[in-house]
Structure 1
Amino acid sequence: MKNRLKLLGLILVLGAPMPMAWAMLHWQIGIPEHQVAHGNLGHDRPDLSQWPIGQLPDQSQWWLVWSTHQVCDETCLAEADKWWRMHRALGRQAERVLRLRIGSDTDLLPGEIATLWEGEAPDWHDAYRVWLVDPQGQIVTEYPAQVDARSVHKDLERLLKRNPEK
């Protein structure tokens, strides 16, 4: 009898997670409502390949995309330096990320790619807005202008960690 109780207890312990998970999903009990990303996940931006910008190198890497005005002023240079430093802070993972500046192709920092808007910039474009783009070209996270680089850095590290290199 003692062995049967042990077996029954073991079956309950090992079999309980599935019915509990089903009940949580079915009745929406205990499911976290918050998100951990610092940027906007709920956006309706087209894929990077559909943006009205010049031809990009065919890279299957993550992209840190940020926009600027046509003329790179002091604010633009400060933003470029901020994103260069954030990129360097990724350490060994930095080679998996490309930085793309849209709007100005002057005063580039090392490792930065620049392109211009072809014709009119889209209406959802704001100067100094930042986007994280996955290797397939889909916008993962969007950040407002003048966002703190630490927030983007944390999100990018989390994305790179959860999407290991093949």
Structure 2
Amino acid sequence: MRNRLKLLCLIFVLGAPMPMAWAMLHWQIGIPDHKVAHGNLDHDRPILSQWPIGQLPDQSQWWLVWSTHETCDDVCLAEADKWWRLHRALGRQAERVLRLRIGSDTDVLPGEIAVFWEGKAPDWHEAYRVWLVDPQGHIVTEYPAQVDARSVHKDLERLLKRNPEK
């Protein structure tokens, strides 16, 4: 009798996940209905080294890239400050991320690299758009203009946590 009870318990433990998964799917219980990333993951941008911005420092780090107009107005300065503060909020992980401003080199904040578009900016360019770029230069996430810095911060922290330093 004792062996049969052990066998029934073992069958229940091994067989219970399938009916539970079916019930969760059928009644939509416990299934998250929101996305994890806050930005656009579906984009067709070339890798960063193919952008018409000239030569960048050869560093295998994450990039926080944002674009601006050629003249830096009050909105540009506010955006620069927002991304500087986000970079500082990363704490120890901040050294793994470089900030790149495309379009203006006035009032460059510490730790920021400023470059210009060479010739005409690409068609997909929009002022104040933000991109997170992996160390190989691939665009991971794209954000619209005037995005909330908390959304970018959460995504960037998640990426850095999932991709530890070598």
* Bin of the TM-score, shorter chain as denominator length: 0.7 to 0.9
The corresponding residue for 1:9 is 9
The corresponding residue for 1:70 is 70
Decide whether aligned partners of structure 1 residues 16 and 56 sit closer, same or farther in structure 2, where only a CA change above 3 A counts.
farther
TM-score w.r.t. the length of structure 2 is 0.86
What is the deviation of 1:77?
Answer: 1.1
Q: Return structure 1 stretches of 4+ with deviation > 3 angstroms.
A: 14-17, 28-34
TM-score w.r.t. the length of structure 1 is 0.86
Kindly indicate whether residue 122 of structure 2 is the aligned counterpart of residue 122 of structure 1.
yes
Q: Distance in 1 between matches of 2:161 and 2:68?
A: 29
Q: Distance in 2 between matches of 1:139 and 1:151?
A: 17
Q: Distance in 1 between matches of 2:100 and 2:14?
A: 49
Letter in 2 for 1:165: E
The corresponding residue for 2:45 is 45
**Superimposed CA distance per residue, residues 39-62 of structure 1 (whole angstroms, 9 cap, x where no aligned partner):** 111111111111111111111111
Count of aligned residue pairs for this structure pair: 161
5+ residue gaps in structure 1? Answer: none
Q: CA RMSD for the aligned pairs?
A: 2.2
What is the deviation of 1:83?
Answer: 0.3
Q: Distance in 2 between matches of 1:49 and 1:11?
A: 56
Q: Distance in 2 between matches of 1:11 and 1:48?
A: 53
5+ residue gaps in structure 2? Answer: none
What is the deviation of 1:12?
Answer: 4.8
